[in-house]
Amino acid sequence: MIEKDKRYYLDLGKVCNMARVKVNGIDKGVLWTAPWQIDITELIREEENTIEIEVANLWINRLIGDENEPWDGVADGKWPEWLINGTERPTRRYTFTTHRFYKKDDRLYESGLLGPVMIKTLKK
């Protein structure tokens, strides 16, 4: 039950590094600094509500993760044939680099929505 004498805040807890928030289909924008809270009072309904939180992984984590796949980049100073010919990539890598900057066992950085996520209230 929504109480009219209160304001409602979505608290994302800990976020590394940013999060886009939608409440009932309405974009509330991007949170990119602490505190990871946003006022949702005007958007919530008595009936069912939908909250969407979109986060992205850090690029360094993606590069490290791709090291679990075989290398399909530049070798001996030559561009890979799949890239030159515009054909399907032979591995499941997401990234393309001309050099191997990381190893598959390198430390991953905290990234994404770490939480805890909760709705907090505050008297008006």
pLDDT in tens, 65-101: 999 999 999 999 999 999 999 999 999 999 999 999 9
Number of other CB atoms surrounding residue 53 within 10 Å: 17
> Is there a single domain that holds both residue 97 and residue 85?
yes
* pTM exceeds 0.85: no
> Is there a single domain that holds both residue 53 and residue 84?
no
What whole-number distance in Å separates Cα of residue 59 and Cα of residue 42? 35
Total domains in the chain come to 2
> Is there a single domain that holds both residue 63 and residue 24?
no
> Is there a single domain that holds both residue 46 and residue 72?
no
On whether the CB atoms of residues 22 and 28 are closer than 8 A, the answer is: yes
> Is there a single domain that holds both residue 6 and residue 20?
yes
What are 36-63's pLDDT values in tens digits? 999 999 999 999 999 999 999 999 999 9
> Is there a single domain that holds both residue 100 and residue 75?
yes
> Is there a single domain that holds both residue 76 and residue 28?
no
CA dist 9 → 2, 3, 24, 38 (Å): 12, 13, 14, 5
> Is there a single domain that holds both residue 100 and residue 117?
no
> Is there a single domain that holds both residue 79 and residue 103?
yes
Pairing of strands 26-31, 112-115: unpaired
> Is there a single domain that holds both residue 92 and residue 115?
no
Buried b (16+ CB within 10 A) or exposed e, 61-100: bbbbbbbeeeebbeeeeeebeeeeeeeeeeeebeeeeeee
> Is there a single domain that holds both residue 73 and residue 23?
no
The burial of 3, by beta-carbon neighbours within 10 Å (0-12 exposed, 13-18 middle, 19 or more buried), is given as: exposed
> Is there a single domain that holds both residue 75 and residue 123?
no
Question: Is it the case that residue 124 has pLDDT exceeding 90?
Answer: no
Per the structure, the complete domain to which residue 117 belongs is given by 1-57+109-124
